[in-house]
Amino acid sequence: MNVNYMYSLLAVVVLFLLSYLGVKVGLAPLFGIVIPYLAVAIFLVGVVRRVMGWAKSAVPFRIPTTCGQQKSLPWIRHSKIDNPFTPGGVVIRMILEIVCFRSLFRNTRNAIREGKLVHEWEIWLWVAALAFHYSFLVVIFRHLRLFTDPIPACVQLIEKLDSFFRFEILTDVFHFGLPAVFLSGFVLLAAVTFLFLRRVISPPVRYISLAADYFPLFLIFGIAFSGILMRYFSKVNIRSIKELTMGLVTFHPHIPDGVDPVFYVHLFFVSILLAYFPYSKLMHMAGVFLSPTRNLPGNTRAVRHVNPWNYPVPVHTYEEYEEEFREKMIEAGLPVEKE
């Protein structure tokens, strides 16, 4: 039994009960209006404060991790992206890092087999990470339909692409069909499950995992699961939900009739995620932009970097050195400043 994930699971179960029962006893305005507003406020203020905090810290040295050939002699092929020399190169490196998880793509694993150290390419963490982040992004983007009226064409386009997979049997006598299946939701659920299982099954990863690593996974699982439940199974009244969300976004909040309690659970989970975000490792989303080993060019020998707090330090000067060793230097025939 792992205490770390039990804590986190318990926390998410408690959150579920809180919201589910809370709404049953008439606290819908709290869960539908007050908490979401509060959460968004905490998210915005928290993220800004965090980023400002990082930005306030100095960048005394230009210390990129160089992952390719430096720019040196003109006939040596320079690795412009992995060891960027110009800001343009850095931008490409950062884009690849943020959009493609380039460093994670390099991932390998090794093991000692028959007395030999064997290295292998390890792709699954990268695949799962990409699947997770991109499906989450699409899910979030799709949800814009609840906050816009009319729904922008790009949102509709994404929906169309996301729901290319349909399951329908339409004949004259027999009709069966699910509502358009959005793949992103299921991919998200699958990726979260994979990331969770990886944490639990792989001994070293389990060893390094904190409760703070499981909690967001459970929470996001809860969000995806409640969303899927509403869409495909409990078939909630989407009209009243949109009424509520439009009320929130236009700052005329009210609680319409006929909103399913599962919706409040879903919304509460999302609110918790937002409020938790700035105080957690989820801030890697913003932090990756500020990582000095990635966002600086490897050109320190060509373009001087200035350290804002570069203070003078005591040094052992040549004069002091010669003072101590002058006689020996003269004897050895070494030139000196003062005979």
185, 227 in Cβ contact below 8 A?
yes
Contacts of 197 (CB under 8 A, 6+ apart): none
C-beta closer to another protein: residue 174 or 207 = 207
Minimum Å gap between C-beta 222 and another protein is 18
Minimum Å gap between C-beta 45 and another protein is 13
C-beta closer to another protein: residue 176 or 318 = 318
C-beta closer to another protein: residue 153 or 332 = 332
Q: To which residue do tokens 């007050």 refer? A: 34
C-beta closer to another protein: residue 171 or 317 = 317
Minimum Å gap between C-beta 262 and another protein is 28
C-beta closer to another protein: residue 19 or 83 = 83
Minimum Å gap between C-beta 208 and another protein is 5
Token pair in block for residue 122: 């390890």
Question: If residue 323 lies in a helix (H) or strand (E), which one and from where to where?
Answer: helix 318-331
CA 166 to chain centre: 30
CA 79 to chain centre: 27
C-beta closer to another protein: residue 255 or 283 = 283
C-beta closer to another protein: residue 17 or 330 = 330
Contacts of 217 (CB under 8 A, 6+ apart): 8, 192, 195, 196, 199
Minimum Å gap between C-beta 186 and another protein is 23
The DSSP annotation for 124-185 comes to: HHHHHHHHHHHHHHHHHHHGGGGT-SSPPHHHHHHHHHHT----EEE-SS-EEE-S---HHH
Minimum Å gap between C-beta 64 and another protein is 8
Contacts of 230 (CB under 8 A, 6+ apart): 236, 260, 262, 263, 266
Question: If residue 118 lies in a helix (H) or strand (E), which one and from where to where?
Answer: strand 116-121
Minimum Å gap between C-beta 103 and another protein is 5
